[in-house]
A and B are shown apart, each in its own frame.
Chain A
Amino acid sequence: MGSSEESVVAVIMVGGPTKGTRFRPLSLNIPKPLFPLAGQPMVHHPISACKRIPNLAQIYLIGFYEEREFALFVSSISNELRVPVRYLKEDKPHGSAGGLYNFRDLILEDNYSHIVLLNCDVCCSFPLPEMLEAHRSYGGMGTILVNKVSPESANQFGALVADPVTNELLHYTEKPETFVSDRINCGVYIFTPEIFTAIQGVSTQRKERATLRRVTSFEALQPANRSLPTDFVRLDQDILSPLAGKKQFYVYETRDFWEQIKTPGMSLKCSGLYLSQFRFTSPHLLASGNGSKNATISGDVYIHPSSKVHPTAKIGPNVSISANARIGAGARLVSCIILDDVEIKENAVVIHAIVGWKSSIGRWSRVQASGDYNAKLGVTILVIIIKLMTFLYEPGESVLPNKTLNVSVQDEIIL
């Protein structure tokens, strides 16, 4: 049993259509995990990272989307990366750990030595091989990827305290109101199969407590007393928090970039982060040109081979152009994601924007936002079939599909 002793399975949680409403309006047209960043679907990035793990045998995607939404992607990426990828649909919410547990029979089928658990909407360098090495040396049940953030923003995440020498997880609190630590949970984990025992323990405990506990009908209505279903297990509150300090979990710190891709604005920022990573991992994916035969390229730019860009256009930095787009003479694109079948006509300017599928931007138009990725209206989003005539958009309109805009619009969300 030589090679399969050390084989690894990866599980990527991809969420569902009712979750992640902050990603609208982009998620009205495509499942968020399939939205392209740096020219590849969002979930492609963690999947490629998993491929770097030696002895990676299988990848599962777990989510609430219909299976057909992922069928095409899953078969195409399995072929492309030569690793079996399979989508599993959760029938009901099980919590972040419960989802893993729900499919334990499948996941443990081939006696994997390690389980990598990732969240799809995390943007980072995924240092998985190094993290696996560290995990082996720690010898615990699980290793959590952590990142240092500013103390002011730490309370938005899961805060961890770890022993600086042994790297053991000593304390874990989800979204603390007061300051606990500036190290936060990145949503990337490596577990040994013992994790399933731990999850089952929580489940059993909850069942026992439910039968033992007798409350008045009034008490039963109070939110605190409303007990969770027995198969609903949260990784953070139900596993990591209680088991912190018991030599079960360890941390591995990354100094690289880390972001959560919750909003369309963040997708633009993360697309830029992945593009700059390509410079080291896959420079052949980046475009180049100086205006003589190809368009002038500035900074990190991805252009799908099927798209046409006029040589007098200037593209970049941080631009990703998807398939079948046509970029006309003298156009200027800065910090934007151009989706499939978009037409950008002569001399148009697009800055800090996401231009949706089949949109058309007229000659000398300007689409521009402030570029503050976190501001509600910091990035302009045009979604599907917008015919933009010769005018300007001010910071952040979100425009819903199938609209024609003939006049200048400023600071609005257009329905």
Chain B
Amino acid sequence: MKALILVGGFGTRLRPLTLSVPKPLVDFANKPMILHQIEALKAIGVTEVVLAINYQPEVMLNFLKDFEAKLEIKITCSQETEPLGTAGPLALARDKLIDDSGEPFFVLNSDVISEYPLKEMIAFHKSHGGEASIMVTKVDEPSKYGVVVMEESTGQVERFVEKPKLFVGNKINAGIYLLNPSVLDRIELRPTSIEKEVFPKIASEKKLYAMVLPGFWMDIGQPRDYITGLRLYLDSLRKKSSPKLASGTHIIGNVLVDESAKIGEGCLIGPDVAIGPGCVVESGVRLSRCTVMRGVRIKKHACISSSIIGWHSTVGQWARVENMTILGEDVHVGDEIYSNGGVVLPHKEIKSSILKPEIVM
């Protein structure tokens, strides 16, 4: 079976992290974002994954060689020379997605984190016999998104409504599709929107079905949602009683600590914290609702909450970092410094406090 992951854009909303690596390679819960998806695909028997990207293929390909070997799955890139929207890349990768088997193929959006109930989706797709299946997820504020209006019992999709002003439904497109190869015949090789052009056509022919995604769902393409997404992800680990979650007197709630990380005395870690490989957390540190990426050193008595600390950065003694502070790669926050929502570009030293949210170049 094949799959396509729409990687696309520059990841501007996740800057400064995406200034150092392409967005799919930004770590989430101690693993590159895209690896969560590739592993889920591998688990249900996908043999080849095509990444639809529009920049930096060299950086991606190096990583991918690594995953290919470890996971024993074939990973290729399909590079857009011009932006092709959300459907165009499928046409571009046509030859890779279709083979003689006639099997349907998955399409995933790389910013999405969820439980990936892909096996259930295959069963659903077979049972309704339609041309395309999409996952939808229930949200509190549907008018921020594109709403999928569907018939409740069969899941047959009636129509899509973009950012509706009046309530028409609370299910939105979760960015996970299972498509028959015939869908590719509907897509021309030009910038095309799958939600605005392709799916509405299939829906009008009553051949599009939607399945409600069980479990959590998050678009982690921007920092605030990244941090919420981590909470949901760790929560789902807890529900599965995953042994990956850390425990101890210094741990509160759900915490992920890479085995190569070191944590000092008198710390209080959690809830909703991920500490990456090679990190050093010195004594007396308080971490909550934050991600600490590979190779970071947090010095004594520091306090970090609701923030993302980029690779190989350091946070000084008695520093306080909070309120959606994002530190890029190799950022060094001085002792006793306070950062309130600072967004700091890579390779910077912070020697004076950031009192209100701002970008530090």
- State which residues 269-310 of B face A: CB under 8 Å: 283-286, 300-301, 303
**Given the known A-B contacts A392-B322, A394-B355, are A347 and B336 also in contact in the complex, defined by CB atoms under 8 Å?**
no
Interface pair B320/A347, CB less than 8 Å apart:
no
Q: Which residues of B contact A349 (CB under 8 A)?
A: 301, 303, 318, 320, 336
Q: Give min CB distance, B303 to chain A, whole Å.
A: 5
Interface pair A330/B266, CB less than 8 Å apart:
yes
A366 sits at the interface (CB 8 A): yes
A395 sits at the interface (CB 8 A): yes
B311 sits at the interface (CB 8 A): no
B338 sits at the interface (CB 8 A): yes
Q: Give min CB distance, A377 to chain B, whole Å.
A: 12
A312, A329, A366, A395: the one within 8 Å of B320 (CB):
A366
A332 sits at the interface (CB 8 A): yes
Q: Which residues of B contact A312 (CB under 8 A)?
A: 284
A373 sits at the interface (CB 8 A): no
- State which residues 297-345 of B face A: CB under 8 Å: 300-301, 303, 317-318, 320, 322, 336, 338, 340
Among the interface residues A332, A334, A347, which one has the most CB atoms of the partner chain B within 10 A? A347
CA distance A363 to B284 in the complex (A): 10
Interface pair B338/A346, CB less than 8 Å apart:
no
A364 sits at the interface (CB 8 A): yes
CA distance A173 to B268 in the complex (A): 62
**Given the known A-B contacts A349-B318, A392-B322, A392-B338, are A366 and B284 also in contact in the complex, defined by CB atoms under 8 Å?**
no
- State which residues 39-70 of A face B: CB under 8 Å: none
Q: Give min CB distance, A390 to chain B, whole Å.
A: 7
A351 sits at the interface (CB 8 A): yes
A330, A370, A392: the one within 8 Å of B300 (CB):
A330
Report the interface size class on chain A.
Answer: 10 to 19
CA distance A368 to B355 in the complex (A): 10
B266, B283, B338: the one within 8 Å of A366 (CB):
B338
**Given the known A-B contacts A368-B338, A395-B355, are A390 and B286 also in contact in the complex, defined by CB atoms under 8 Å?**
yes
How many residue pairs, one in A and one in B, have C-beta atoms under 8 Å apart? 49
Q: Which residues of B contact A366 (CB under 8 A)?
A: 303, 320, 338
CA distance A276 to B338 in the complex (A): 27
Interface pair B336/A332, CB less than 8 Å apart:
yes
**Given the known A-B contacts A346-B266, A366-B303, A395-B355, are A330 and B284 also in contact in the complex, defined by CB atoms under 8 Å?**
yes
Q: Which residues of A contact B340 (CB under 8 A)?
A: 392, 394
**Given the known A-B contacts A347-B284, A347-B303, A392-B338, are A329 and B318 also in contact in the complex, defined by CB atoms under 8 Å?**
no
Interface pair A364/B300, CB less than 8 Å apart:
no
Q: Interface size on B (CB < 8 Å)?
A: 18
A364, A368, A392, A395: the one within 8 Å of B286 (CB):
A364
CA distance A347 to B268 in the complex (A): 11
**Given the known A-B contacts A349-B320, A394-B355, are A329 and B336 also in contact in the complex, defined by CB atoms under 8 Å?**
no
B284, B317, B322, B353: the one within 8 Å of A346 (CB):
B284
Q: Which residues of A contact B353 (CB under 8 A)?
A: 368
- State which residues 200-221 of B face A: CB under 8 Å: none
Q: Which residues of A contact B286 (CB under 8 A)?
A: 347, 363-364, 390
**0/1 interface trace, chain A 247-291, chain B, CB 8 Å (1 if under):** 000000000000000000000000000000000000000000000
**0/1 interface trace, chain A 317-348, chain B, CB 8 Å (1 if under):** 00000000000011010100000000000110
Among the interface residues A314, A349, A351, A364, which one has the most CB atoms of the partner chain B within 10 A? A364
Q: Which residues of A contact B283 (CB under 8 A)?
A: 330
- State which residues 111-169 of B face A: CB under 8 Å: none
**0/1 interface trace, chain A 393-415, chain B, CB 8 Å (1 if under):** 01100000000000000000000
Q: Give min CB distance, B306 to chain A, whole Å.
A: 11
CA distance A364 to B318 in the complex (A): 9
CA distance A257 to B336 in the complex (A): 29
CA distance A370 to B356 in the complex (A): 13
Q: Which residues of B contact A390 (CB under 8 A)?
A: 286, 303
Interface pair A330/B320, CB less than 8 Å apart:
no
Q: Which residues of B contact A395 (CB under 8 A)?
A: 355
CA distance A338 to B98 in the complex (A): 73
Q: Give min CB distance, A405 to chain B, whole Å.
A: 16
Q: Give min CB distance, B332 to chain A, whole Å.
A: 19
Among the interface residues B268, B283, B300, B301, which one has the most CB atoms of the partner chain A within 10 A? B301
Binding site for A on B (CB under 8 A): 266, 268, 283-286, 300-301, 303, 317-318, 320, 322, 336, 338, 340, 353, 355
Task: Give me 17 A-to-B residue pairs in the complex whose CB atoms sit less than 8 angstroms apart, sorted by A's number.
Answer: A314-B318, A329-B266, A330-B266, A330-B283, A330-B300, A330-B301, A332-B317, A334-B336, A346-B266, A346-B284, A347-B303, A349-B320, A363-B286, A364-B268, A368-B353, A390-B286, A392-B322
Binding site for B on A (CB under 8 A): 312, 314, 329-330, 332, 334, 346-347, 349, 351, 363-364, 366, 368, 370, 390, 392, 394-395
The 10 closest A-B pairs by CB, nearest first: A330-B284, A364-B286, A330-B301, A332-B318, A347-B301, A364-B303, A347-B284, A366-B320, A349-B318, A368-B338
